[in-house]
Structure 1
């Protein structure tokens, strides 16, 4: 039997673990969270993504119980969280700094919360060894935090957070202190641990790549609001606004006016340049201002004008970003608009076909670009 896809948000019978209902948070005159209603489901790996100051940390602090909503309610498993103090919630938080006790061993750090709850010794020992195994730290149980690497400290903090089997684990920029390669490895470890434990994870990050790698759904935030919450694939392929398209990955945005044509719209963008075409089921009025968002990997770059493609523009290469496996060409149109095109580097550099100042053609299919109203 094919494996059932995990998409509780599309199941009308699924009960959310967390419900934000009309939640607003103000600090004096400043509105940090602006009337937000959304759900997070059990076993989800949910990412709050956005630039500094967008409200994602305030959202997390309200879930942890460090802040109370000014208006609205937050429910955990159907229960209003506001009256429950942070230490009594079935929620744990892993901080960016890991906040490990330097004088305690790895084993004692993981056992700390269980001891404080007065659990029996044999139960503590069993749980700690389970957590050490889960985070692959058995060999380091007797070491102090300063005797292990940053990546291992990160895993100790995770093991300690999960030891009390919380319903919900909050992760605040958990990989911020790790170098790029270790971050990548740790992202997959996090996903693996989240799947094994079945705990609901909510991660706060400003790193779009991280959010897109680990999360079942990503909530892109701006100015105290969730602008779009969806699966990574849908956020990338079907952004609902220029803000989301621009925030996630690389993109070229062309502004123009739309006119209905066949199963989509013709977009006039620059005088003297041919109109572009995009298949879209959006309901637009003729002459409406629109934005065309095109991902660089969907743009083909050729020396000659492509046959049978409606979307074809001529330009000059002004920049090339070489990233080992791919090259991104920045091509200037006669209007000055820059369009990015990406190619996979299957050949050696010396055999690359295009270079700076080359005149080239850029083209893409009718379904490659996303038509956006704002």
Structure 2
């Protein structure tokens, strides 16, 4: 899905499919969702991302109708669904356990909801065949769930969820049970299926890589609140807080006192006896204000010799090296004890490392490499 073309959230004329308006959900004294307002649009693949207990599953259960909001209003296609029972909503939910019927075949599992809705025999047959084709399981129609693999069971659950053509499909940690390789393959399958059907998908996950791969937009949550909603690239490159920067991917955070040094340019005093750091920010900072500079490890260069052309260059020593096959991450300790991660791509086979443990090194980065954050 091309994010340049598909951006209904930027179009003021677009009406959202789902609206949370000042929604709060309490369980006794505990506030699970705290005054949450959010729009999700038709055909979006929307990810709710956050640590365990941040409220993402509660949001999903409210959409499905298994929980009712304590305050506020939830709309689906312009209708207040607060008091609509789960079976009357144009919403389907796919659980992590898949919840397939073990005694029914793949075909019968997919047909189950259609039969309960009393659809005609031919209609059911046509729809189930269409779903089997969509998830590429035509050859497995007569098998029972225990006779197919975990990844295939996941696709049966998906086909069953989509059979009744819901406006909205909710996926609760749908790939949690799969191994890493299968999980990655299945992410792309999910994206293809979502695009083919045009159904709005809302996925709950605590796996940031998964959210960044599949979603048109990601909502990063913490303690019942949404901290930032944006496209995956915007969340990665322009986090709005240290929390988001830290939650998504690897990041270095350097704290210091800001002083303006030019148009949208600042210096950061960050450690005694160290040269100030140069950084840019479109958001204004006042002189002496505390700022946190978030820099991704891949934006930091590491070298044995002092760089001549970098506005920011610091000397340190290599404390640790994580070799990840395609990348190496160097943990470099600075004189004040702070550790900075720098990442390099392993474009050649490593026969002999240029830089190894305990080596004195220089790390450097440009003025625009980092993002200045208030908190």
Shorter-chain TM range is: over 0.9
SS at match of 1:43: coil
Partners in 1 of 2:177 and 2:274 — Cα distance? 48
Partners in 2 of 1:261 and 1:168 — Cα distance? 50
Q: What is the count of residue pairs matched by the alignment? A: 373
Residue of structure 2 equivalent to 1:372:
373
Matched, 1:234 2:237: no
Could you list the per-position Cα deviations for residues 30-80 of structure 1 after superposition, in whole angstroms to 9, with x for gaps in the alignment? Answer: 000000111000000000000000000000000000000000000000000
Residue of structure 2 equivalent to 1:318:
319
Any gaps of 5 or more consecutive residues in structure 2? none
Residue of structure 1 equivalent to 2:173:
173
Partners in 2 of 1:82 and 1:335 — Cα distance? 55
Could you list the per-position Cα deviations for residues 133-173 of structure 1 after superposition, in whole angstroms to 9, with x for gaps in the alignment? Answer: 00000000000000000000000000000000000000000
Residue of structure 2 equivalent to 1:146:
146
Matched, 1:124 2:121: no
Residue of structure 1 equivalent to 2:90:
90
- Superposition deviation, residue 350 in structure 1: 2.0
SS at match of 2:174: coil
Partners in 1 of 2:282 and 2:120 — Cα distance? 62
| TM-score normalised by structure 2 residue count | 0.98
SS at match of 1:351: coil
For the 8 Å contact 2:304–2:362, the answer to whether it is kept is yes
Partners in 2 of 1:227 and 1:281 — Cα distance? 20
| TM-score normalised by structure 1 residue count | 0.99
Change (3 A) 1:4 1:233: closer
- Superposition deviation, residue 90 in structure 1: 0.1
RMSD, aligned CA: 1.0
Residue of structure 2 equivalent to 1:255:
255
- Superposition deviation, residue 267 in structure 1: 0.3
SS at match of 2:282: coil
Could you list the per-position Cα deviations for residues 292-343 of structure 1 after superposition, in whole angstroms to 9, with x for gaps in the alignment? Answer: 1000000000111111211111000000000000000000000110100000
Partners in 2 of 1:325 and 1:308 — Cα distance? 27
For the 8 Å contact 2:3–2:216, the answer to whether it is kept is no
Residue of structure 2 equivalent to 1:337:
338
Partners in 2 of 1:308 and 1:322 — Cα distance? 28
Matches for 1:61-80 after TM superposition, within 5 Å: 61-80=61-80
For the 8 Å contact 2:48–2:204, the answer to whether it is kept is yes
Partners in 2 of 1:333 and 1:89 — Cα distance? 57
Any gaps of 5 or more consecutive residues in structure 1? none
SS at match of 2:97: coil
Partners in 2 of 1:87 and 1:338 — Cα distance? 53
Residue of structure 2 equivalent to 1:272:
273
Change (3 A) 1:284 1:3: closer
Residue of structure 2 equivalent to 1:160:
160
**Runs of 4 or more consecutive aligned structure 1 residues displaced over 4 Å after TM superposition:** none
Partners in 2 of 1:318 and 1:217 — Cα distance? 37
Partners in 1 of 2:152 and 2:4 — Cα distance? 34
